[in-house]
Each structure stands twice: as C-alpha cells, then as structure tokens.
Chain A
Amino acid sequence: MSFPLLTAAAALPAAGAIVTAAVPAARRTTAKWLALLFSLGTLALAVAVMVRFDPGGDRYQLTESHAWIKDFGVRYELGVDGIGVALIALTALLVPFVVLAGWHDADPLETHSKRWRPTQGFFALILMVEAMVILSFEATDVFLFYVLFEAMLIPMYFLIGGFGDRAHAGGDDRAAAQRSYAAVKFLLYNLAGGLVMLAAVIGLYVVAGNFSLTEIAAARASGELDMATNTERLLFLGFFFAFAVKAPLWPLHTWLPNAMGEATAPVAVLITAVVDKVGTFAMLRFCLGLFPEASRWATPVIIVLALVSIVYGALLAVGQRDIKRLIAYASISHFGFIVLGIFAMTSQGQSGATLYMVNHGISTAALMLVAGFLISRRGSRLIADYGGVQKVAPVLAGTFLVGGLATLSLPGLAPFVSEFLVLVGTFARYPVAGVVATTGIVLAALYTLVLYQRTMTGPVKEEVRAMPDLRPRELAVVAPLIALLLLLGVYPKPLTDIVNPAVRHTMSDVQQKDPRPDVEAAK
C-alpha cells in the first residue's frame, strides 16, 4: 500500500490543531510558530499531491478507501481530480498567510482570566478548518463530504464570533454583539442549508443504496440506476440549496457581508477564499456528477441567479461605506461569475470557473489582508475615515492597489484569465447572459477604484498622518501573494494543465459538448 498522501494532507493540520491547542497559556508565541510550521508542512504535502498527480491519468487519483460505517453504506473514500488538486493547493497556500497575518489578532487582553487561551484557540481553529476543508476537497464519498461540510461550520463559527478586530476588542459591547450576531447568522444559514442537504443525502441513499460518488456515477451512466425525473430534481435541489448558501448565491448571500465585516481580516479570508470554495467545488463535483439531467434542467434558473449575484453584488459594493463589507459584496459578485462558469456547461466556462476559484482566493486574500492591516492601524472600517494614505504609507497603498486591480480583473493579473474564460464560455452558449455578466466588470472597476481613491489619495487626514507603513511580517504576507497573482496572470498553464482534463470529465458527466464556435451556434 502506498503512502496515504491525501489523508496525510488533512491529518497534518488536524494534528497541528491539537498540538497548538495544548500549548500552555503562557507560551502563546510557541503556539503561533507551531501553527505556522504545521501550515507550511501542509503546504509541502499539498505540493507533493500536485507533483504526484498525473493530469493525463485516471479521473480520481491517489485514491484511498477504507470501511467506515458499514450500516450506512459509508466508506472513507478519498481521491482527487484536477479541480480538487487546484483547490487543495489554494487552501494549503493561503493558510500560512492567514496565520501570519493574524499573528497578533488573538493576543489575550489584560482583562482576560489566566486560563482563557484565545491565541491557542484561534490558531488551532484555523488549522482545524484547514484540515476539514482539505478533506472535503478529497472526499469521494457523499456522506463523508457531508459530515465535513457541516462539521467545518463549528470551528468557523467560533472564529467569527470569538475574535474581532483589535480596535473593537475589549469592552465594546456593541461590537461584540454584532460579532456574535454575525456568527449566529453564518451558522444558522449554513446549518439550515446543510440540513436540507441531509434530507437529500438520505434520499440519495434510499435511491442508490450507497454513497460512493464513483459507484453511483458509474451505475447512472450504465443505466443500472434509474432515477425518476422528479426524484432526481428534488435531490439536486437539496444538494444545490446547501451549496448555494455556502457559495453564496443571491438570495442566500446575506450572511456573508455580516460574517466578513465582523470577523478579523484573516478569518474573513478564510471564509471567502477557502471555506466558500467548498460550495462551488461541490456544485461541480456533486451536483453535476450525481444529477446531470437535473443540472441541465435547472441551468436557466441558476444562470439567472448567478447574473443577479454578479450585478447585485457589484452594485451593493459600490454603495458600501465599510471596507470589509465592500470586499464581501465584491466576493458575492465574483461567486456569481464562478457559478455562471460552472452552469454555462462549456469547457471554457468550467475551466474558467475552477481557475476563478483559485484566483479569487488569492486576489481577495491579498486585498482583504492589506485592508486588515490598514484597519488595524486606524481602528476603523469606514472608508470615510481614511484619505491620503498613499502619501504616508506608500507600500501599503501600492499593495492595496494591486489587490484591488486583481479584483477588477486587470489584464496581466491572474483573475483576468479566469474571468475571460468564464465570459467566453458563457457567450458560446448564452450570449445574453454573457453581456449582462460583463457589466459586472465595469462595476468592479467602479467600486475598486472609488475605494482606492477615497482611502489612499487626496489630502492626508489628520488621523492617518502617523500611520506606519507595512512591517516586515506584513510584507511577507502580501508580497508572495502579489507575485503569485502576476505569475498566474502571465503564465496560467501549470494550473490549466491540471484543471482541463478534470473539466472534460465533468462535461461528459452532464453529457454536454462545447457548442461549435461558428455563427450558427452562437445564435
């Protein structure tokens, strides 16, 4: 038996969480370094997964399969396709930066009791989320995936509710109340979505008799497993609802601005760049893989929802006064693009959507983390409280600009490639949808540049006059992310090579071929 690389990639951060949590209260710096080490170790394992993965090989590779709960027909089954590999790499890449960016976010206050160990808890929870997210990208058993999908809510919930911005921490009851409201809203939305999915998961078992993604897909393809049309549609809706809450898709998105606004910037990155990707990933893998016909049936409605998300998210982002909420609404707009790409049912669209997941993760992380550094300096999230920052902190302003330009998909930066692919893929099949989606780009330019202009340019505000520029630790967070954005913007081939074969499999799942690129089909 070969080395269980996939299990190891999830087990290492889980072990890290336990070790970090066990560090005594007084040694919190040790806990931070341990968390960083474990996240870097996970990154190494993710790289190993990437190297061992053969893009031209079987659909699911590095597979592992063990008996787990026989009575439920559940196995511990792992395997990755190109999409999974890309997202595991994204997760493992971002978490070390999240750890580094949140280095001081959870230091205990004087008023806290000696036994309360927020620092250890903070980093242990981050690693726990990482472990569950990675394992959920690997699971090819529906039940196993469901368990992780739900279980990751609990550490996320404590991360959102338990740790606020330093500026507000300690005694500010209103901030604490808002934070706890945001955490509860996050949990209830996602839990409700997950419970609807639970009903569908049980329904799937009753219909199919087991939970193995590969077996069910094979049985469906060979005609052994015949689902009644209505059954399939109901099950599809049950799954899709949960993923649409997680992704989040309009009109199930309202938890995201609260959660991202109230959480600290690193946690907000964890939400939008890492955890939410599980939702869009699961649409590709489970909705399209298990219910191809229902997916085709639902496509028109979902495309409309995605378009609404794109435009509505962007419009609300233009109107935001709070930096973090602005980024949250921008993310909703971007998730609209991802869902659009997935359900355009073309290979460009789906490749683009997968790349979009990765690029959006990196660009949002860069923008959000710099925004977090900015906010921690001034103690306010309001755009109006800033002005002229580029004169006092040019490096901060510069990195903020690059992050913002990546968000608006400037050519040369990574998100451009994916957004372009999604739009091309959409035009091929749904020209009108493509046109509507393009307005999202225009609005993105508006909200990003207006944000930059109001905070960074103009006369220097009194309160920001003494603002220090990025510190070495902060630079170490931002610089690699920006480098990566540039690299993937100019040379996305390594990523597309891994993703494209997987997308071909997904396309064959839903029995779709790309429309021929001639004038007839475009009509």
Chain B
Amino acid sequence: MSTTDFHSLWTAAAEPLGEIPTPEIEYVQLAPVLIVVGAAVLGVLVEAVVPRRARYHTQLFLSGVALACAFAAVVGLALSGHATTKAQISAMGAIAVDGPALFLQGTILLTSLVAVFTFAERRLDPAHHGHRVDSFAAEAAAVPGSDHEKAAVKAGFTTTEVFPLVLFAITGMLVFPAANDLLTLFIALEVFSLPLYLLCAVARRKRMMSQEAAVKYFLLGAFASAFLLFGIALLYGYAGSVSYARIADVVDGAVGTVDPALAATMSNDVLLLIGFAMVLMGLLFKVGAVPFHMWTPDVYQGAPTPVTGFMAAATKVAAFGAMLRLLYVVLPGLRWDWRPVMWGVAIVTMLAGAIVAITQTDIKRLLAYSSIAHAGFILAGVIAATPDGVSSTLFYLAAYSFVTVGAFAVVTLVRDAGGEATHLSKWAGLGRRSPLVAAVFAVFLLAFAGIPLTSGFSGKFAVFKAAAEGGAGVLVVVGVIASAIAAFFYIRVIVLMFFSEPHPEGPTVAVPSPLTTTAIGVGVAVTLVLGLAPQYFLDLAGQAGVFVR
C-alpha cells in the first residue's frame, strides 16, 4: 500500500461525521423475525419472574404461539405478494424479503413448531420423585453425578431455558437465508449457532457425551465461523462493500465509485476466489458436507434427541438457503469458477455419507451419516444454477426437514432402562412388538431412501431433474449410485425391525403425549402428501424461486 493510501485512510477518518441517519425499518416485512425474537426475550423474562412450577407451561405456550404467529405472518406476507411482485430489500439493505426467503422461513417455522413439541415431551421417562421429566438436564450447570445434580433432580428442576434458547436459534435461522449482506449473514450464523451449542450440552441422560458433543460442535463451529469471517473480510477487500448486490456488481465489472482506501485490492480476483471459498466453507460446515462433516455424527449422537431432530432439519434449511442466495445473487457471474469445486464436494458428500453409514451401529449416527448423504443430494440441486435448481432445492428442503423431525421423534420413543435405546441391535423385532411405531419409522426410512410415493422420492426426482437439465448428468449418475448404496442401510434397519426376533429384555416403546404424537403424525402426513400429490408444493416452490437483488 502506498503512502497516499495510508494518508487517505487517516484523512477519511478525520472528516467530521455527518449525522447518523435513522435507519428505516420495515416492521411489517420483518414481522416473522421480530415475533420470534420478541418471544425469545419474553422467554428469558419468564425464567426470571415466573414461579418455577408454572414455567414449563408458560414457555411452551409462549413458544407455540410465537411460532404459529410468525408462520401466519410469513403466510400473510406471501399472500400479499411479497414473495413475488413486491419482493424487496428491507432494513437498510440488510435483509431480503423475497420468495426463497419467505418459503424457507415458513419451512423453518413449521418444522421448528413441530420440533418444539418434541422438546416439551414429558411422558417418555418415568416420573422422578413425583415430577415429570423431559429430555433435558435438571440443572445444566450442575456437574454430572454430583450431589448438586441429585438435589436438582430431587427438587424436580427442569431446564425450561431450552425454550427461549431454541427461539433465539430460530431467530438466527430465519435471518440466515434472508441475509442480504455478509455481516448480517455472519451475525445470523452466530445467533443461531450459539444457542445450538448450548442445547447440545443439556441432555438429561448420558450427560458427559452430551457435553462432549457440545464442546466438539462449539470448537469446530467456531473454527468454521472464523473461516467465514475471514472470507467476509477478503470479500470486503475485493468489493469495498459487504452488500450482496454491490459485490455482484463488482464481479460483473459494473464498478461504481472506488473507495480510495481500497484501490489496491479492489477487483483483485485472488481476494474474491479465496474469500468466497472461505465463506463457502463456513456454510458447507453448517450443512455437514464432506470434508466439513466431521462434527455431524458425534454431535447428532450426543445431543438430546429432540435437539438433534431440530438441528438436523432446521439448520440444514437455513444454511442451504443462505448458500443458494450467495451463489445465485452474488456469484452468478462466477459460475464457471465455483461449479467444479461444488461438483467435487457434492460427489464426495453423497458417496462418503452413503458408504460410511453402512458401518454404523447406532441409529442416531446412522441418521447423521444419512443426513450427510442428503446434503450431497441437495447440493446437486443447488449446483444446477437454474431457476428449477432453486425451486427443487426449496422443495427438497421442505420435504426432508419434516421426515427428519419425525424420524428423530420416533427415536425418542424407543427406550430401555438407560434412556433411549439407540444401539441398532436393540431395535431388533420392534415391528413384532409395536407394529405401528415400526411401520411409521419404516415410512420415514423409505422416504430417506427415496422410494416412490414418499416425499423423499419427489424431492430426489426434483433435484436430479434440475441437475440433469443444468448439464450435471454426472451428478445424477453418482447420486443414483449413492442412493442405491444408501438404500442398503435403510433397508437393514427395516429388516432388523420386522424380520428379527425381538430380544426378551429389549427396549420398550414409550407411549408419548399428544405432543410427540403430533410431531410424528405431521411428519408422516407431509411425507405421504408430498409423495402422492406434490404439485401444489412444487408450484409454491416454483413461484418462490426468484431472488431479489
């Protein structure tokens, strides 16, 4: 950097600041986010002022109502044309309110609502000392196995903080796919990641494993966030702005006024490519794509199962949404640079997820690897780089998230003396003992495997079709091979459930409250409806497929 550049830096800073303008906030368009974050803040207050015994019901009510209202707000916005004709950038350029954003927000809100029901389930474990217990530690701060913990259990404490925490996480997830500048993207990422790290750590049983999962997730997640942030800095150096539209302009060569301080670095493609690769790394970490997937199995296994379900579904939706916006809004001009890399990532992700899953013996780890394989399938749609690619990815995300929440909800039901019986050998003969639960789980597994007449097939067909039309026939072939491999382990679980003799001292299936029943019921209903008659939802995703810039 030359001296004049330095000089101009100083002089620019020395200029008297003008009046800071009052930001214009479009409260109506941001209503979904504001409702959820408002409820989260209220939830914190509830923890502070409401008596302990009333907290659970207050929190459940508050979260349920907030998520339902936020969903209603999303629907209202979509109906009044904000998804199509009135799509716009709001909050001073920070947040886009357009079709993909609203579709993803709607999906996140609905899956979260269902997931919150599984959070609130208190009938699965036998009552401790006369208190009903949920999946979360009596007192998260108590050292596992200590007297302190025993006292907390005896007193019937529950960690009702999970409700405001999950609401904060949902807030971040709502903003993430709608973020229209890199800083908002980063902040949204942190807002949803930090509560998730905490939620992972508060399992009631196997607490050490849960805490280990949280630490792993936190450390690796922090690493990924750092990459993302570094990438943002480089992109700022490249474009002189963090706004998506502005970066896209610079990429296209339509450069406006050059900031003198950045004259040396602006439009330097090295910064663009490295910066962009780092931002992508951060996002690929969140979706669990190979080679950034290492955290997935441990975290999925260690976290309380309702949290795993929530995380597996909603995080994926949010992160893929952000990735879509980044690739389609910021970098359409760079397609030839990012496509080969993403092809590689998609192929490796599909194959590695499917192959490694075969060796798993724990149902939660199995589902974790399956989620990696699915991330690969979704990437195939993302890479298509056509309007069909966007809408098929949106559709796949919606279909996948409900199956996931439902499948993990079933996992919470199969229990033995040590809590959930997640080792596969314990699932032997489940179909003989509880035909209904096993049949429901089989439906979810078939949907994961992409068997026709389930939502998994519609989704897979949509993304593969988009990929083939986008010229990625190789991805389709690899995807088909990976599906065949993946089918093997889904089928293995079905074999185990239906064709093996049950162990005499095997796990029992807990009878859940209407909360979990609703979650599973919604999962099955969505799976079948999207499998048999997906047209309406494909239309919805198709209309929502246009990004505002």
Residues from chain A with a CB closer than 8 A to the CB of B391 are: 71
Enumerate chain B residues within 8 angstroms of A187, measured Cβ to Cβ.
Answer: 487, 491
Q: Which of chain B's residues 441-497 have a Cβ closer than 8 Å to chain A?
A: 446, 451-453, 457-458, 461-462, 464-465, 468-469, 473, 476-477, 480-481, 483-484, 487-488, 491-492, 495
In whole angstroms, what is the CA distance A68 to B534 when docked?
Answer: 9
Within 8 Å of chain B (Cβ to Cβ): is A297?
no
Known: A154-B446, A176-B499, A198-B483. 16 other contacts (CB 8 A): A69-B458, A69-B533, A71-B462, A71-B542, A115-B433, A116-B432, A147-B452, A153-B451, A184-B491, A187-B491, A188-B488, A195-B484, A198-B461, A198-B480, A202-B465, A205-B465
B473 touches A71 (CB 8 A): no
Supposing A176-B499, A188-B488 touch, asked if A202 and B538 sit within 8 A by C-beta, the answer is no
Q: Please determine whether B535 and A69 come into contact, CB atoms closer than 8 angstroms.
A: yes
Contacts of A198 in B (CB 8 A): 461, 464, 480, 483
A residues 67-92 near B (Cβ < 8 Å) are 67-72
Q: Which of A170-213 contact B (CB under 8 A)?
A: 173, 176, 179-180, 183-184, 187-188, 191-192, 195-196, 198-199, 202-203, 205-206
Using a CB–CB cutoff of 8 Å, the interface residues on chain A facing chain B are 67-72, 112-113, 115-117, 146-148, 150-151, 153-154, 157-158, 161-162, 173, 176, 179-180, 183-184, 187-188, 191-192, 195-196, 198-199, 202-203, 205-206
B252 interfacial contact with A, CB 8 Å: no
Contact between B457 and A147, CB atoms less than 8 A apart: yes
Report Cα–Cα, A38/B483, bound state, in Å.
Answer: 36
Q: Decide if A202 touches B432 in the complex (CB within 8 Å).
A: no
Q: Using CB atoms, name the residue of chain B closest to A196.
A: B480
Q: Across the interface, do B435 and A115 meet the contact criterion of CB distance under 8 Å?
A: yes
B495 partner residues in chain A, CB cutoff 8 A: 161, 180, 183-184
B residues neighboring A (CB under 8 Å): 391, 432-435, 446, 451-453, 457-458, 461-462, 464-465, 468-469, 473, 476-477, 480-481, 483-484, 487-488, 491-492, 495, 498-501, 533-535, 538-539, 542
- A451 to nearest B CB, angstroms? 30
Instruction: Name the one of A115, A154, A188, A206 contacting B451, with C-beta atoms under 8 angstroms.
Output: A154
Query: Cβ of A206 and Cβ of B469 under 8 Å apart?
Result: yes
- A191 contacts B487, C-beta separation under 8 Å: yes
A180 touches B499 (CB 8 A): yes
CA distance in complex: A72, B461 (Å): 9
Closest 7 CB pairs of A and B: A147-B452, A71-B538, A180-B499, A195-B480, A199-B480, A192-B484, A150-B452
With both beta carbons as reference points, the residue of chain B lying nearest to A207 in the complex is identified as B468
Give every chain B residue within 8 A of A70 (Cβ-Cβ). 535, 538-539
Would B468 and A206 count as touching, CB distance under 8 A? Answer: yes
| Shortest CB distance A48–B (Å) | 27
Is the Cβ of B468 less than 8 Å from the Cβ of A203?
Answer: yes
7 A-B contacts (beta carbon < 8 Å): A71-B535, A150-B451, A150-B457, A161-B499, A176-B499, A203-B468, A206-B469
Q: Are A158 and B498 in contact (CB under 8 A)?
A: yes
Given known pairs A154-B446, A196-B480, A203-B468, the reply for A72 and B451 (CB within 8 Å) is no
Complex CA–CA separation, A203 to B500 (angstroms): 39
B-side contacts of A176, CB under 8 Å: 499-501
> How far apart are the CA atoms of A199 and B482 in the complex, in Å?
12
Whether B432 lies near A203 (C-beta < 8 A) is no
List, in ascending order, chain B residues with CB within 8 A of A146's CB. Answer: 452
Query: Cβ of B538 and Cβ of A173 under 8 Å apart?
Result: no
Please report the C-alpha to C-alpha distance between residue A203 and residue B476 in the assembled complex, in whole angstroms. Answer: 9
Determine if B499 and A151 form an interchain contact, defined as CB atoms under 8 angstroms apart: no
Q: For A160, give the chain B residue with the smallest CB separation.
A: B499
Chain B min CB distance to A292 (Å): 23
Number of A-B contacts (CB under 8 A): 103
Chain A residues contacting B432 (CB-CB under 8 Å) are 112-113, 116
User: Can you name the residue of chain A whose Cβ is closest to the Cβ of B538?
Assistant: A71
How far apart sit A176 and B429, CA to CA, in the bound complex (Å)? 12
List, in ascending order, chain B residues with CB within 8 A of A202's CB. 461, 464-465, 468, 476
CA distance A187 to B391 in the complex (A): 32
Which chain A residue has the least Cβ–Cβ distance from B488? A188
Complex Cα distance, B542 from A202, in Å, reads 19
Interface core residue of A70, A115, A147, A148 (most chain B CB under 10 Å) = A147
With A70-B535, A151-B453, A198-B480 already in contact, the answer to whether A162 and B462 are too (CB < 8 A) is no
CA distance A203 to B474 in the complex (A): 11
When A71-B542, A146-B452, A206-B468 are in contact, do A116 and B498 touch as well, CB less than 8 Å? no
What is the bound-complex CA distance between A313 and B328, given in angstroms?
A: 56
A116–B488 alpha-carbon span in the complex (Å): 26
CB B245 to nearest CB in A, in angstroms, measures 30
Question: Which of chain B's residues has its CB closest to A179's CB?
Answer: B499
Q: Please determine whether A116 and B501 come into contact, CB atoms closer than 8 angstroms.
A: no
Is A161's CB under 8 angstroms from B498's CB?
yes
> What is the bound-complex CA distance between A188 and B487, given in angstroms?
8
Looking at A148, A173, A202, A203, the one whose CB has the most chain B CB atoms below 10 A away is A202
Residues of B within 8 A of A203 (CB): 468, 473, 476
Q: What CA separation (Å) do A151 and B469 show in the bound complex?
A: 25
- Inside 8 A of A150's CB, which chain B residues have their CB? 451-452, 457
Max chain B Cβ within 10 angstroms of own Cβ: one of A70, A188, A199: A199
Q: Is the CB of B433 within 8 A of A113?
A: yes
Q: For residue A70, which residue of chain B has the nearest CB?
A: B535
Q: What is the CB-to-nearest-CB distance from A121 to chain B, in angstroms, rounded to a whole number?
A: 8
Q: Determine the chain A residues whose CB is within 8 A of the CB of B481 once the complex forms.
A: 195
Docked complex Cα distance between A205 and B392 (Å): 15
Please, which residues of chain A bring their CB within 8 A of the CB of B465? 72, 202, 205-206
Kindly list chain A residues whose C-beta atoms are within 8 Å of the C-beta of B462: 71-72
Chain A residues whose C-beta falls within 8 Å of the C-beta of B500 in the assembled complex? 176, 180
**Are A71 and B539 in contact, CB atoms less than 8 angstroms apart?**
yes
Residues in B neighbouring A112, C-beta threshold 8 A:
432
Task: Tell me which residues across on chain A come within 8 A of B498, comparing CB atoms.
Answer: 158, 161-162
Residues of B within 8 A of A72 (CB): 461-462, 465, 538
Q: Is the CB of A69 within 8 A of B499?
A: no
- In the bound complex, residues from chain B placing their C-beta under 8 Å from that of A148 are 452
Task: Give Cα A36–Cα B434 distance, bound, in whole angstroms.
Answer: 28
How far, in whole Å, are A227 and B495 apart by their CA atoms in the complex? 42
CB distance from B350 to the nearest CB of A (A): 13
Cα(A68)–Cα(B488), bound, Å: 30
Cα A206 to Cα B471 in complex, Å, equals 10
Shortest beta-carbon distance from B495 to chain A in Å: 5
Complex Cα–Cα for A67 and B451 (A): 22
Which among B458, B465, B481, B539 has the greatest number of chain A C-beta atoms within 10 A?
B465
A309–B489 CA distance with the chains assembled, in angstroms: 31
Which chain A residues border B458 with CB–CB below 8 Å?
69
**List of A residues within 8 angstroms of B534 by Cβ:** 69, 71
Closest A residue to B485 by CB, please name it.
A192
CB pair A147–B476 under 8 Å, yes or no, is no
Q: How far in angstroms is the closest Cβ of chain B from A110? A: 14
Q: How far is the CB of A133 from chain B (nearest CB, A)?
A: 15
> Within the complex, which residue of B452, B461, B483 is in contact with A151, where a contact is CB–CB below 8 Å?
B452
- Residues of chain A contacted by B535 (CB below 8 angstroms): 67-71
List the A side residues contacting B533 at CB < 8 Å. 68-69
Q: Whole-angstrom distance between the alpha carbons of A198 and B538 in the complex?
A: 20
